[in-house]
Amino acid sequence: MEKEKVVIGMSGGVDSSTAAILLQNSGYEVIGLFMRNWDSMVDGEIEGAPTTTQGICPQEVDYEDAKKVCEKLNIPLYRKDFIKEYWDDVFTYFLEELKKGRTPNPDIMCNKYIKFDLFIKEAKRLGADYIATGHYARIKNGKLLRAVDRNKDQTYFLSQVSKEQLKNVLFPVGELEKPKVREIAKQYDLITAEKKDSTGICFIGERNFTNFLKNYLPNQPGDIIHIETKEVVGEHMGLMNYTIGQRRGLHVGGSKERMFVVGKDLEKNILYICTGEDNDYLISDSCLVEDINYLGDEKITKCTAKFRYRQEDVPVELEWKEKEVLVKYPQGVKAVTPGQACVFYDGEECLGGGIIKEVRKNNEKLWYL
C-alpha cells in the first residue's frame, strides 16, 4: 500500500527536525521543503530593496543544518525562494504599519501569506497529501487547539490562518513538551538537538532593532513628554522605535522612577511617557479589532483573549459589528497596542482573531494612541 506523502517545512531548527522524525515513525513518506524568505535579497534582485539587506539572516546556516538532518533521516530536501513575495506581503506591511505609529506582528502575516499559502501550493506541486510544520499547536476535528506545552504554544501566531489553509495540516510537536522534543532529536543524534531557538523577527534576528530600522525608515527625533506633567523630559529616536508599555531605551534623565511609553502623536512627533507600570494612562477597557479571521463554528460573545503573545488570557465580551469586533474587558488591561493581534480563545480552542485598530476607555478612543 502506498504511503501518504507529507511535505514538512524544514527550518533548520530542532522543532521541525523532531517533527520529521515523528512523521516518519507514523508511517508517512516525508519530504522536506526549506523556505528562503529573506537573506538572499541582495543588490539588484528586487526592485526597491535596499543594498543593506545582504547577510542579514543566517539562513544559509539554517539551510545547511536542515540538509544535514534530512540526509541523516534519508529525507529528500527541496529549497524554494519566496523572497519577493515575503518583501511584498510581509516586510512592506511591517514598514507601513510602523509609519502609522502602530506595532505590527510580521510573523503572523508570514504564516498567513507565506507558510500557509505559498508553501502549501508548492507542497501540492510536490504531491503532498498533507503539509506539516514545527509549530507548537494542535488540530483536532478541524479545530485549532493550543499546544500541550503552554509555554511554547504558537496559536497566537496562527490566528490569521484561515480554516481552508488549515485543512490537511499536521503539527507533530504540538502534543509534546519542549524538553521531550529535544530529547527525541538527541536520540537520533541530530545536529539541531542542542541548537538555540530562534528569537525575534527573522529579518532582524539578534541585532539591534533601532539600527536595523535606520536602513529603511529615516529617524525623526522628537520630544519625549510626560503625559501628566506635560514637561519635555527627553528626546526620542523616531516613533517607530517604540511600543506601548516599553520601559527600556527611553533615555529620560533626572528621574529614578520607572517610566513607560504610553502614547504617540504622529503629527507633532511626540512620544508620551508616564510614571509607574500601573499608571491609569496605560489602562484601557475596550478595543476595536479589524481584519477578523474567525475560526469558530458560531460567533460567541464571551471568551478569553490575548493582546500580546506572552500575555495571560483575559476574560472578554465580544460585540460583533459588520467588519469589526468591539472587545470589552471592564476589569482593565495594561498596554493594549494598535497593530498587535487580538486573539480569541474558548478554553483550548483558538477562535482566530484580528488586528487592534483602536484602544478605548469609557467608550472613548484614547487620544494619545
Of 250, 275, 300, the position where a domain reaches its end is: 275
The answer on 171 and 26 residing in a single domain is yes
The answer on 142 and 19 residing in a single domain is yes
The answer on 140 and 54 residing in a single domain is yes
The answer on 352 and 306 residing in a single domain is yes
Look at residue 209 and give its three-state secondary structure: helix
| Residue among 104, 161, 93 nearest 355 (CA) | 104
In a domain, 206, yes or no: no
Of 211, 244, 275, the position where a domain reaches its end is: 275
In a domain, 108, yes or no: yes
Q: State residue 209's pLDDT score.
A: 77
In a domain, 16, yes or no: yes
The answer on 116 and 150 residing in a single domain is yes
Segment 137-194, tens digit of pLDDT:
999 999 999 999 999 999 999 999 999 999 999 999 999 999 999 999 999 999 999 9
Residues 210-248: b if buried by 16+ CB within 10 A, e if exposed: eebbeebeeeeebbbbbbeeeeebbebbbbbbbbbbbee
Query: What CATH number is associated with residue 226?
Result: 2.30.30.280
Only one residue has cell 523630559, namely 233
Segment 270-307, tens digit of pLDDT:
999 999 989 999 999 999 999 999 999 999 999 999 99
The answer on 37 and 156 residing in a single domain is yes
Active-site amino acid positions:
110, 202
Angle between helix axes 178-187 and 14-25 (nearest 10 degrees) is 70
Query: What CATH number is associated with residue 123?
Result: 3.40.50.620
The per-residue pLDDT of the chain, averaged, comes to: 91
Q: Where in the sequence is the domain holding 343, given as residue range(s)? A: 280-365
Distance (Å, whole) CA 201 – CA 306: 19
| Residue among 164, 169, 199, 158 nearest 343 (CA) | 158
Residues 25-59: b if buried by 16+ CB within 10 A, e if exposed: eeebbbbbbbbbbbbbbeeeebeebeeebeebbbb
CB hemisphere CA count around 209 (13 angstroms): 15
Segment 175-184, tens digit of pLDDT:
999 999 999 9
Residue 117 CB partners (closer than 8 Å, separation 6+): 165
Query: What CATH number is associated with residue 297?
Result: 2.40.30.10
The answer on 295 and 260 residing in a single domain is no
The answer on 287 and 257 residing in a single domain is no
Distance (Å, whole) CA 279 – CA 153: 30
Phi, psi (rounded to 5 degrees) for 167: -70, 140
The total domain count for the chain is 3
In a domain, 242, yes or no: yes
In a domain, 126, yes or no: yes
The answer on 96 and 161 residing in a single domain is yes
Give me the mean pLDDT over the 205-229 stretch: 86
In a domain, 326, yes or no: yes
Angle between helix axes 14-25 and 59-73 (nearest 10 degrees) is 20
Residue 149 CB partners (closer than 8 Å, separation 6+): 136, 176, 177, 178
pTM: 0.92
Only one residue has cell 533626572, namely 254
The answer on 353 and 322 residing in a single domain is yes
The answer on 127 and 39 residing in a single domain is yes
The answer on 16 and 113 residing in a single domain is yes
In a domain, 238, yes or no: yes
In a domain, 210, yes or no: no
Q: When comparing pLDDT for 21 and 251, which is higher?
A: 21
